[in-house]
Structure 1
């Protein structure tokens, strides 16, 4: 049980890191994630079946997501389409593209195919038993991607992306083209989501065009849950809390799936549970911000008034 929760948490945590980039760093709500997740799975699946080298297939999946994100940002930039609508347009087009990639099929099994995951588990099978070898694989992959993201957001480009999310006019005044930065940021986000889709296809043993349904909501829930676990502005802790939030979210979904019958909760209610989690997170965050603002206002008033009796002869 516990290893399954951790594996899924780390796997979908890669996707949540992509959602974190657009929603929290760029302030660019992007719904094309629901299309790029199965895109990565479809590219990985068809590449494995056709004998493409595994690492090359993984790179192609990442590049496909990168290109899809760039399309979303370009539609938004050049046609002045709102970011939500640009994401919906890309997501809609990707459904047909994913069907094409899979050879006009909705599902492609990978059960007897050699994948990166199966190769890794076979390599260490004499040292680590099967369920835990899968956990070790995703722990290494998740932490490696987290570390690389931390390094990226400490570079000039990464710092510029973060600044653009806070104040776009500031980077314009510095001579930086925000349209190019949006293409890079949204492209990177969707590349990570496609990468997660590629790993999900290997873990689940199939690629399916409907794998991405509701994935952006799950990613957003993971990001918000993580914000309650760790409060910090340091990029290393920001990415860590996304992974932790994903693990906690998968744990909640597991409890709802296997023990929810005690309160008449069925697997069909899990999306309702996800939506309620996000609403509760938003309400609590708003309440916390209101309390913090009130506390700052009271401190400002006391500071302006000065100490009791101050200024009297």
Structure 2
């Protein structure tokens, strides 16, 4: 049970990077971008192909993010310059990326089992410091179970994800970031102020897909393979992470909202892991579980809000009656 929960947190913290990318388009830009289902695989395929070709894993991961940025920019160009509906532009790019990803890998699945990944390099680096054995020794001395051998990966990925979150927070508070947020709120008003909304949208969608592709490259290295279908349903996972995080932790500030997205991604993976441990559910039910989680996350806040409003009306009615009786 502990190992499975550890794995859920480990993958959840990587998927959180993808969720931050989805947050930028859906919440900040108000741009329903389905490119992410293709750019996630693009990041995985570019990273896998680069590593197989002898490129250092860290550089391969950077290439994955760059490939995602290019794919996102092309979607932005289709929407802004080609005057194609944002949803349709994302679908078109997602469809095109399927063939592009096949071209990159040369086959539907590309294995990394015999290759050195960035995570293996991190584990080796961590082991060489001696901190790993020291920490596990301390746990054993106080009677606690040793952490899995990949706990160093989790620690590094938490640092990386928090770093990306802080950069996102800083970017959204800059002049360009504020303009992006304003475009999502009222594009016509920003245009009336002579701002170049087209360039801002292209850059915003590009950055979003760079995050998504980066997550794809990391997931491919964590799982040991890249598959052309690994991005199916990814947009629902991203939205589920955002909705769960916002429902539980709120969105009063940008800092709080991005933290909510990260925590929402981790909680989503934990919920899915727990659900799959139920006897009558199978791995093939994952899409159904995801849909149910999203439905609950969407419906529950509205039910709670309607109950609060109902209680508020009842209290107000009672106060008015009490005031009427005292005047009589």
Q: What is the TM-score with the length of structure 1 in the denominator?
A: 0.89
Aligned counterparts, 1:106-125, within 5 A: 106-125=108-127
Q: Does 1:276 align with 2:292?
A: yes
Q: Does 1:204 align with 2:207?
A: no
Unaligned runs of 5+ in 1: 299-307
Instruction: Give the distance between the partners of 2:229 and 2:71, measured in 1 at CA.
Output: 17
TM superposition shift of 1:294: 8.0
Q: Does 1:91 align with 2:94?
A: yes
Moved over 6 A (4+): 291-298
TM superposition shift of 1:250: 0.2
Checking the alignment, whether the CA contact within 8 Å between 2:251 and 2:260 is kept in structure 1 is: no
Unaligned runs of 5+ in 2: 134-148, 315-322
Match of 2:176 among 142, 146, 157: 157
What's the CA shift string for 1:105-162, capped at 9, x where partnerless?
1111112212221111101123226221121121121111111111111111111111
SS of 2:150's partner is helix
Residue of structure 1 in register with 2:318 after alignment: none
SS of 1:260's partner is coil
Residue of structure 1 in register with 2:198 after alignment: 179
Aligned counterparts, 1:2-17, within 5 A: 2-17=5-20
Residue of structure 1 in register with 2:137 after alignment: none
Query: Which piece of structure 1 moves more, 172-181 or 29-38?
Result: 172-181
Checking the alignment, whether the CA contact within 8 Å between 1:117 and 1:137 is kept in structure 2 is: no
Instruction: Give the distance between the partners of 2:33 and 2:82, measured in 1 at CA.
Output: 16
Instruction: Give the distance between the partners of 2:75 and 2:305, measured in 1 at CA.
Output: 32
SS of 1:207's partner is strand
Residue of structure 1 in register with 2:132 after alignment: 128
Residue of structure 2 in register with 1:255 after alignment: 274
SS of 1:232's partner is coil
SS of 1:79's partner is coil
Residue of structure 2 in register with 1:221 after alignment: 240
Q: What is the TM-score with the length of structure 2 in the denominator?
A: 0.85
Aligned counterparts, 1:72-83, within 5 A: 72-83=75-86
Cα gap change, 1:107/1:169 in structure 2, threshold over 3 Å: closer, same or farther?
Answer: same
Residue of structure 2 in register with 1:52 after alignment: 55
